[in-house]
Amino acid sequence: MIRIQVPATSANLGSGFDSLGIALKMYNQVWMEESDSLEITSKDDVKIPTDETNLIYWAAKHVYERCGRKLPGLKIIQLNNIPMARGLGSSSACIVAGILGANRLIGSPLKRQELIDLAAEIEGHPDNTTPAIEGGLAASAIEAGRVYSVSVPVSEKIRFVLFVPPFELKTEKARSVLPKQYSREDAVYNLSRSALMTASLFSGKLENLRVAVQDKIHQPYRANLIDHLEDVFRMSYELGSLGTYVSGAGPTIISMVSSDMAEKFSAQAEIRLKKKNINGWKIKTLAVDPKGASIFTE
């Protein structure tokens, strides 16, 4: 049996809509082996599909079919640490686990670039799947079905504080509120800031992040879908956030803070949430995962 470990990911980082994503040190674990039948179980209390609609199995089946191999069945065991439908790449983690695991089981016929392309094809965009595989901060674009990407390390000066709410927000709903067209001014606004974001996270230019995180493409339109968004944004900046943004499609909100103040920031944020009666939100402080998904033999 093999074990696949896949990190959580945060897409967009404010300005980098559908192009930027970062891997974080929170992991789903998946155990997988070939079997005569399909058997899917979970090591936690998260409800998962246990039939062929399971996303890990579905992704694995894509690999077998693409490589001309018959899939007799799989035994899959999941440990789901990444919260679902919270904008932290839970679906991408399942897809990546499925394709990496299946590829390993049949002798690794697909190379890394082919796996990156296939993951983006299944997911529909590469902003979560690419950093889940590559680690670090990944900038990605798709051209003619191929993902062109660069993954760079992120300065150790930065930590990511997650504000995870007690409710879900489906990506389909979050995308449905976005306009069909944007002005040239808004496009330039985001292009300049997404480029600044990449360079600043890589170099550790912390003073740039508050500008780099600004966005006119998706966050203003999704704000009404996330209860207490304005309260959390305002509070985070009052506590010293370097830049705060909606993670992926939401509803998780992430504040980038300097590593030396991350513990104090989180503690004070907990107190502020309680005072404002914003209940059920969980705060997690994470570093960047530099390596991406890993496979272990057990």
Q: Kindly list the structural domains of the chain, giving each domain's residue range(s) and its CATH number in brackets, ordered by start.
A: 2-153+289-297 (3.30.230.10), 158-286 (3.30.70.890)
What integer pLDDT is reported at residue 200 of this predicted model?
A: 94
What integer pLDDT is reported at residue 79 of this predicted model?
A: 97
Residue 24 · residue 8 · CB < 8 Å: yes
Better-scored residue on pLDDT, 72 or 244:
244
What SS3 class is residue 237?
helix
Q: What is the pLDDT of residues 83-111, one digit of tens each?
A: 999 999 999 999 999 999 999 999 999 99
| Amino acid at site 142 | I
pTM of this structure? 0.95
Helix, strand, coil percentages (3-state) for the chain, rounded to 5, are 40, 25, 35
Q: What is the pLDDT of residues 49-59, one digit of tens each?
A: 999 999 999 99
Q: What is the pLDDT of residues 114-166, one digit of tens each?
A: 999 999 999 999 999 999 999 999 999 999 999 999 999 999 999 999 999 99
What integer pLDDT is reported at residue 298 of this predicted model?
A: 83
Buried b (16+ CB within 10 A) or exposed e, 114-126: bbbbbbbbbbebb
d(CA 193, CA 210) in angstroms, rounded, equals 10
Buried b (16+ CB within 10 A) or exposed e, 84-106: ebbbbbbbbbbbbbbbbbbbbbb
- Give residue for tokens 């079905």: 145
